[in-house]
């Protein structure tokens, strides 16, 4: 969060990008680290210190949301997304507002690489219904291309390698969530579910409790900065 990108800390780049979204009228950085708090305030942004005991980003944001007005729409942007598209944020907010039965919304991107993405358990995959609602989130390569696999001796990897058009059926989940405030407070009060613990994906808690999650396509790719390689990729784009 504190690493320099073109003379500006990474977290401040993310702060600025979120503030460019037309649907956002207030940007708050929720943190448990005074260094981040001070950097954000020095840049003219708003930051709030939260408990160091939260198990997820949603839990941390819920602590801040308790003091926000009833009926608020809360956007959860990961702090390590310095090139997130403001248009993607707007699309996710609009999707939630326009679907009164949805409790939250999230985003996805095309998945195009077999070994680097589809078979990489660090890349979360999602399956959605025809109406755009989420069916499941998983670290496994789903859905399974059965007919195509049969054409290649029962090997799905061979099918995907030789029929790249099959990738049109796959989406990777990107870490942006939009919540109705009241649902966020309810969601974070629920105990962790078995599937959530098994896959280490908190959004499965929402699905297991019957929540409706609207999924929209991201407008442009983003990069979550988790490694030095990620940081250099982002620097090449922003500098």
The domain tally of the chain equals: 1
- Dump pLDDT digits (tens) for 33-77: 999 999 999 999 999 999 999 888 899 999 999 999 999 999 999
Model pLDDT, residue 140: 95
Question: What pLDDT does 107 receive?
Answer: 96
Q: Residue written as tokens 């399974």?
A: 144
For residue 90, give the CATH number of its domain: 3.90.550.10
Give the model's confidence band at 124: pLDDT under 50 very low, under 70 low, under 90 confident, else very high. Answer: very high
DSSP string, the chain: ---EETTEEHHHHHHHHHHT-TT-S--EEEES-HHHHHHHHHTT-EEEE--TT-SSHHHHHHHHHTTSPTT-EEEEE-TT-TT--HHHHHHHHHHHHH-TT-SEEEEEEE---IIIIIT-TTSPEEEE-TTSBEEEEESS--S--HHHHHHTTT-HHHHHHH-GGGGGG-EEEEEEEEEEHHHHHHHHHSPPPHHHHHHT-THHHHHHTT--EEEEE-SS------SHHHHHHHHHHH-
* C-alpha 83, offset from chain centre: 13
Residue 188 has pLDDT above 90, yes or no: yes
* 13 is a domain residue: no
- Does 7 map to a domain? no
What is the extent of the structural domain holding 116? Answer: 70-238
Quote the pTM value.
Answer: 0.90
Residue 216 counted as domain residue: yes
**pLDDT computed for residue 175 by the predictor:** 79
Q: Of the ranges 78-92, 154-168, 223-237, which one carries the lowest mean pLDDT score?
A: 223-237
pLDDT at residue number 3: 93
Q: Has residue 116 been placed in a domain?
A: yes
User: Is there a domain that residue 225 lies in?
Assistant: yes
User: What is the per-residue pLDDT for 220?
Assistant: 80
Classify residue 190: in a domain, yes or no. Answer: yes
Q: Which single residue is written with the structure tokens 């049109």?
A: 168
Low-confidence winner among 153-157, 221-225, 228-232 (lowest mean pLDDT): 221-225
Q: Within a domain: residue 103?
A: yes
- Asked whether 86 and 99 are in contact (CB, 8 A), the reply is no
Q: Is 149 exposed, middle or buried (0-12, 13-18, 19+ CB in 10 A)?
A: middle
User: Which one, of 40, 203, 43, lies nearest residue 135 by Cα?
Assistant: 203
Residue 26: per-residue pLDDT: 96
Residue 174 lies in a domain: yes
The pLDDT assigned to 223 comes to 80
């Amino acid at each position: 969060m504190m690493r320099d990108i073109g003379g500006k800390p990474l977290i401040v780049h993310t702060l600025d990008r979120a503030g460019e979204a037309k649907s956002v009228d207030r940007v708050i950085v929720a943190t448990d680290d005074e260094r981040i708090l001070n950097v954000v305030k020095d840049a003219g942004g708003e930051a709030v210190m939260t408990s160091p005991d939260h198990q997820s980003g949603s839990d941390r944001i819920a602590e801040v949301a308790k003091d926000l007005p009833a009926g608020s729409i809360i956007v959860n942007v990961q702090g390590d997304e310095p090139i997130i598209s403001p248009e993607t944020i707007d699309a996710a907010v609009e999707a939630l507002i326009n679907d009164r039965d949805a409790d939250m919304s999230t985003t996805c991107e095309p998945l195009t690489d077999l070994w680097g993405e589809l078979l990489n358990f660090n890349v979360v995959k999602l399956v959605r219904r025809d109406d755009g609602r989420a069916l499941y989130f998983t670290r496994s390569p789903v859905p399974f291309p059965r007919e195509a696999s049969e054409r290649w001796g029962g090997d799905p990897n061979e099918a995907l390698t030789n029929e790249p058009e099959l990738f049109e059926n796959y989406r990777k989940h990107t870490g942006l969530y939009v919540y109705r405030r009241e649902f966020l407070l309810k969601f974070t009060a629920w105990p962790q579910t078995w599937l959530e613990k098994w896959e280490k994906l908190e959004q499965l808690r929402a699905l297991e409790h019957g929540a409706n999650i609207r999924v929209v396509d991201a407008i442009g790719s983003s990069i979550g900065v988790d490694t030095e390689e990620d940081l250099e990729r982002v620097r090449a784009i922003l500098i």
